[in-house]
Each structure stands twice: as C-alpha cells, then as structure tokens.
Amino acid sequence: MDGDPGRTTGNPAAALAGLTTAAREGWAAENRAAAQRLIACYALLQECWREYGHGIDGSHEARPGHAVVDGLVAAAGYVVAAMSISARRAEKMLSFSWELHTRYPAILEAMAAGLMEQRVAELLARQMATVRGDVLEQVQRQVVDDYLNGVAAGIRLGDKALRDEVDAVIGRHDPDAIRL
C-alpha cells in the first residue's frame, strides 16, 4: 500500500473494492457528522430558548431598559460564529434541527447511523410537512424504512421518484396531506 485506501499492487479488483469501501465510509462519516451538527444545534437552540425565551411570546419577562432577544436569533448568532455561515443559513439549520427532533426523529436516526445524507433528509421532511400529527410517526417511520431498504437493495431513486414514493406512503395514511 502506498497510502491510498484500498490500493494494492497488481490487484486492480482489490484496489477498487478498497477504494469503494473508503468512499462509502467517508459518505457515512459525513452523514454522521451532519447529524451530530444538527443534534448540537438543537441543544444550542434549547439552551438559548431557556436563556432568552421564544421572542415576543411572553415566555420571558422583558426587563425595563433591556432589549428582548429571541432565542432563535441568539442561537443563530452562535452558529454563525462557530461555523462561518450566514445568519439565514444558520436559522434554517436550527429550524431543521428542531423539525428532526420534534417531528422526524426516524430521519435523524438514519442520519446518525450514517445511512442518509442531509439532502435526502431535507427532501423527506419537506414532503411530509403537511402530514397530520396523529399519523406522522407511522408515516415517517415507513418512509425512512422504505428508503433505507431501497438503499440496502441498491435502489437509487432520483428526487422526483423519491418524492413520488413518499407521496404514496402519505396517501395511504393521510390523503388530505397530498392535496395540501
């Protein structure tokens, strides 16, 4: 080996297998890192909500002479400083972290296991945005299971086909969500 993962002298099949494994491991590590980032963002958001409240919702009494700071805005400031990203992107990341923890924990589990990339997670969450709360857990579990089973079987759907698959699951449990 000369430092390249999977590189072996004289055995191209072994080299390709090793390199493919290294690429897969990198992809899974990236997915786990995205989940870790979103888990940390959610914890930061929770802490900022405890400290600063939820904006002008009466959750914290404003002190005379002091500005009211929304917890989301404060958390976004911390994320901007930590990750060198825009405030808008930080707020979107914080919002998505909240959605994963409160509405789509099965998606977050798949990301944390290294099996789903953030782009797919965002697509699935957007598709399920209008699903009724009383069936959401069942729908999202089936959507995630179907996706992961497909990946394990070597099925790679494009975005439209994936949205269609999610809509089919939603349609069986909450037909009104499809219309919305």
Position 54 confidence tier, pLDDT thresholds 50, 70, 90: confident
pLDDT digits (tens, 9 = 90+) for 90-126: 999 999 999 999 999 999 999 999 999 999 999 999 9
Q: What is the pLDDT of residue 176?
A: 86
145 token code pair: 């299971």
Q: What is the pLDDT of residue 66?
A: 55
> Where do runs of H (alpha helix) occur along 68-104?
71-83, 87-102
Q: What is the pLDDT of residue 72?
A: 92
Question: What is each CA distance from 77 to 53, 74, 86, in whole angstroms?
Answer: 15, 5, 9
> Where do runs of H (alpha helix) occur along the chain?
12-52, 71-83, 87-102, 105-112, 118-127, 133-152, 159-173, 175-179
Q: In the predicted model, what is the mean pLDDT of residues 23-45?
A: 97
Position 174 confidence tier, pLDDT thresholds 50, 70, 90: very high
Query: Taking the model in full, what pTM does it have?
Result: 0.84
* 1: pLDDT strictly greater than 50: no
- d(CA 151, CA 90) in angstroms, rounded, equals 30
In this predicted model, which residue has the larger pLDDT, 134 or 70?
A: 134
Q: In the predicted model, what is the mean pLDDT of residues 139-159?
A: 95
- d(CA 72, CA 59) in angstroms, rounded, equals 13
* 164: pLDDT strictly greater than 50: yes
Position 55 confidence tier, pLDDT thresholds 50, 70, 90: low
Q: What is the pLDDT of residue 4?
A: 58
Q: Tell me how many degrees the CA angle 166-173-35 measures, rounded to the nearest 5.
A: 45
Q: What is the pLDDT of residue 114?
A: 97
Q: In the predicted model, what is the mean pLDDT of residues 56-64?
A: 51
In this predicted model, which residue has the larger pLDDT, 20 or 68?
A: 20
